[in-house]
Every structure is written in C-alpha cells, then in structure tokens.
Amino acid sequence: MARAISWHGQGARLVLEARNQSSRITSITARQVLVTVPLPILQQNRLRFDPPLPPAKQQGIAALAMGQVTKIVLRFSQAFWGELRLLTCDGPIPSFWPVESATVPTLMGYIGGPPALQLAAQGEPAALARTLEQLSSYFGPQVHAAFISGRMIDWSQDPWTLGAYTYTPLGAGNARARLAAALPPTLFFAGEATCTNGHLATVHGAIESGRRAAAELLRYASGA
C-alpha cells in the first residue's frame, strides 16, 4: 500500500508498505502519479503528501463525505422466498434480494446510512439474529428452520475503503471538481469521489473518471 508521496515538478517518490508485512518498506519513483484511493484514505491522512496538497484540493477532500453500508448475507437450505427479486420493507433491514450467483439459496440484506453503523455496532451474532427475526415476521418459522449460516459485512471497518461510497453534503457542490483537478505535471486524481457528471458511487463512474484522468495524464506526459 502507498503510505506517502513526495512530489514536485519533475516527478514523485512513493513510499510503499507491503501488505501484511508492515516492516517491509520500499519506495519507487515515477514521473506521474494517478491517485485513486478512496476518500477517507485522503481525509485521514493515511496517504501523506509532501509537500501537502494545495488548500483548494484539501478543501474538496474535507467537504465530501463517505457513506456507510452494512450487508447481511444469509445461506439457507431452501429458497422459501419463491420468485422474489427484491424485497423492500419498513423493518430494520430495508431491503433484501436473492444472490443469483450463489450455489446454495442465499439472501442479501442491505442497509445504508447511520442505521448501517448502528446495526454493525451490535456485532455479527446480534445482527444476524435480528435479521432472521425480521425475515421470520414475513415468512414464518421456515426462516429459522432453513437457516444454515450468515455473515455481516461492515464496510465502515474495511481498511481499504473505510466506508461504502461518497455523497455530497449540502454546500459542497464544487468539492468533487476540486478533488478531481489535476496538479500537473505530476499528480492526477480519479475514483468515484471525483465524478462530476452524476455517476458518483458507481463502478461506471469510477471507470469514467479513470479515463478522464488517463487522458489528462497523457496530455502532460506528451508535453502537449
């Protein structure tokens, strides 16, 4: 993982730390760097810049926010939900859908925003019990009878993202453009948080931003 970037007009030096081997530090040099780490990595200075990023860039980073998601995956011995494609409800977990690619009948529960953190704070056993209870209120005792196993995925605790996907708080209208702006000729920025065309928080938005940043990078690489 990248820990630090020293940058200047002629290039940059990246300090890298090997995954699971915190003592193995290496560094590489590059003429240009494309930064695509998730927003909280920048907000929490987990990737340091020397010199620090300019004030406009820092304002953009600080003004945006990372949203939270908790997922509950449940495996069952039978698909008691029939032809269900998507269940939206008023319960603690507001939506469920069958995981079509699973080899055994599997339901995915999805919850976003502050309630996602509240559910995750209960811990996996309590969150699973609560979810089964909710499903039982719709489908009856067959839920517990068919239950095999479950997992909770708390994206706020994922060290590589520290959240799910970004949103724009009130008053932060120009923050994405500030985050996206290149610092030519050396630093370029991409990732869903840099999307200014409405495709934020999506895979296609992240891909589009990568294409935009790659074009910027090549423009400066060729000196045009």
Ligand X SMILES: Cc1cc2nc3c(=O)[nH]c(=O)nc-3n(C[C@H](O)[C@H](O)[C@H](O)COP(=O)(O)OP(=O)(O)OC[C@H]3O[C@@H](n4cnc5c(N)ncnc54)[C@H](O)[C@@H]3O)c2cc1C
Kindly list the residues in this chain that would bind ligand X in the complex (CB under 6 A).
1-2, 36-38, 41, 46-47, 69, 71, 155, 160-161, 164-165, 191-192, 201-204, 206
Distance CA 43, CA 58 (A): 8
Using CA atoms, how far residue 65 sits from 41, 74, 86, 132, in Å, is: 12, 30, 28, 31
Three-state DSSP class for residue 152: strand
Helices (H), 21-174: 39-43, 55-63, 114-121, 124-139, 142-146
Distance CA 49, CA 12 (A): 10
In this complex, which beta carbon is closest to ligand X, that of residue 53 or of residue 206?
A: 206
In this complex, which beta carbon is closest to ligand X, that of residue 119 or of residue 143?
A: 119
In this complex, which beta carbon is closest to ligand X, that of residue 49 or of residue 165?
A: 165
DSSP state of 217: H
In this complex, which beta carbon is closest to ligand X, that of residue 199 or of residue 219?
A: 199
Q: How far is the CB of 71 from ligand X (least distance, A)?
A: 6
Q: How far is the CB of 158 from ligand X (least distance, A)?
A: 8
Q: How far is the CB of 213 from ligand X (least distance, A)?
A: 11
Q: How far is the CB of 114 from ligand X (least distance, A)?
A: 16
